[in-house]
Structure 1
Amino acid sequence: MKLMTNLFSIFEPSSSILVLPLNWASTFLGVVFLPCFFWVSSSRWLILWSKVTQILYKEFKTILGFSNKGLSFIFVSLFSFILFNNFLGLLPYIFTSSSHLTMTLTLALPLWLTFILFGWMNHSQHMFSHLVPQGTPSVLMPFMVLIETISNIIRPGTLAIRLAANMIAGHLLLTLLGNMGPFLPSSLIPFLISSQILLLLLEAAVAIIQSYVFAILSTLYASEVN
């Protein structure tokens, strides 16, 4: 029990002034990078980031259709916000807010609830048709309605848990390997460091992939209400 407590303590927002938890302030560290966009001459990183956001915007716009152009900006911003938090969490002494269901569910639930309410209020017949896939036998229709309803209800939970679980898993593995260092002979330390570097590169890839998965799945859910 003590070992598990020590492992999960890296995710606990314990630093605070009075009752204000300071660790959650890392969620807004992405604002620090905003002034870089106002330079007259853009750096290579800003040019690369601009191209990435343009590609994402075109992809989200294609999924949503021509009637929802403005929503594409929301999902590009969502991708950017999650990506910044995932990458900042890989740096030492920075709290990973995207590894907590408090944050991930706060992102997923309002989006899902907005799409559902908008769909049922404006496209009720279309929403009903989604509950029964085309070609379903009459006998299976009640079961399909039940299954589709449950799958729609659990969508925000699956979005939130997927992101949080993937971020927690990598950080725990890095912590476990790091705690092995004092107990290993000096001849194995280079292998431990090499494995840590490789795992850190893998975590960087996971940070990008999970940001994209969260944004693209939210886009697909939004496209179903039209």
Structure 2
Amino acid sequence: MMTNLFTPFDPSSIGNLSLNWISTIIGLFFIPPMFWLIPSRWNFLWFTVISSLHHEFKNLLNQNNKGMTLIFISLFTILLFNNFLGLFPYIFTSSSHLIFNLTLALPLWMSFMLYGWLNHTTHMLAHLVPQGTPPILMPFMVCIETISNIIRPGTLAIRLTANMIAGHLLMTLLGNTGPSLSMVMIYLLIITQILLLTLESAVAIIQSYVFSVLSTLYSSEVTYEFT
């Protein structure tokens, strides 16, 4: 029984175990073993996606990244799996929870900041004042840039959480009105739900891509600009 609007997003638990969080890794079990053994259309499609992401992330990093693109490709993959699994009925959407998204964003941001401040302290300080800033505005720019850097993991996590929750809530609200509608309105509701599901599929891909690209850009500011 749904007690409030956000009940579908609550993880069910048996004892102290939140079993719904298993959906975070269950996507790996949907990959057929033959996918890894015999070249297939799915294999070719996924290899094409990974190659495109690798070249784009490599251009964003603008350096000999030494495998750093693998981190962001893996990040994109796990978010894509979780976003898509959440579109299926009765499957828990872990990427709609802030704690899951912060778990991905915060360690990445912390590692970038620690690397930059420990190895390129002078350049990190200089980065707080954009080039060409008038001297009278420098103290304000330092405050603004500092706040901007601090809230980066929060904005990454909140953006993904809000986008995943919004579509799911809309589909839930429309679906709950079904029993009280006439047959004609039910047909319209089904068409609307199919269109929303298509939109949510696009959002699942776009938000995974945006999260990975922004993480890559944050990394490039530290690993390239200051070297």
Deviations 1:167-186 (A, max 9, x none): 00000000001001011111
Greater mean deviation of Cα atoms: 200-209 or 57-66:
57-66
Match of 2:41 in 1: 44
Match of 1:192 in 2: 189
Match of 1:12 in 2: 10
SS of match in other structure, 2:67:
helix
Deviations 1:30-81 (A, max 9, x none): 22127343222x2212211110110001110111122323110000000000
- Equivalent-residue separation in structure 2 for 1:168 and 1:128 (angstroms): 37
TM-score normalized with structure 2 length: 0.94
1:96 aligns with 2:108: no
Q: 1:29 aligns with which of 23, 26, 29?
A: 26
2:176 partner amino acid: N
Deviations 1:67-111 (A, max 9, x none): 323110000000000000000000111100000001000000000
- Equivalent-residue separation in structure 2 for 1:80 and 1:157 (angstroms): 21
**Identity across aligned pairs (percent)?**
66
Number of residue-to-residue matches in the alignment: 222
- Equivalent-residue separation in structure 2 for 1:34 and 1:77 (angstroms): 19
- Equivalent-residue separation in structure 1 for 2:209 and 2:185 (angstroms): 36
SS of match in other structure, 2:90:
coil
Task: Name structure 2 gaps, 5 residues minimum.
Answer: none
Alpha-carbon shift at residue 188 of structure 1 (Å):
1.1
- Equivalent-residue separation in structure 2 for 1:216 and 1:86 (angstroms): 17
Q: 2:136 aligns with which of 134, 139, 142?
A: 139
Question: Contact 2:35/2:42 (CA < 8 Å) preserved in 1?
Answer: no
1:9 partner amino acid: T
Deviations 1:11-38 (A, max 9, x none): 0002x23211110000011221273432
Q: What is the root-mean-square deviation of aligned Cα atoms in Å?
A: 1.4
SS of match in other structure, 1:224:
helix
TM-score normalized with structure 1 length: 0.95
Q: 1:61 aligns with which of 58, 61, 70?
A: 58
After the TM superposition, which parts of structure 1 deviate over 6 Å for at least 4 consecutive aligned residues? Answer: none
Q: 2:164 aligns with which of 160, 164, 167?
A: 167
Question: Contact 1:61/1:69 (CA < 8 Å) preserved in 2?
Answer: no
1:151 aligns with 2:148: yes
Greater mean deviation of Cα atoms: 23-32 or 202-211:
23-32
SS of match in other structure, 2:131:
coil
Task: Name structure 1 gaps, 5 residues minimum.
Answer: none
Q: 1:71 aligns with which of 51, 68, 71?
A: 68
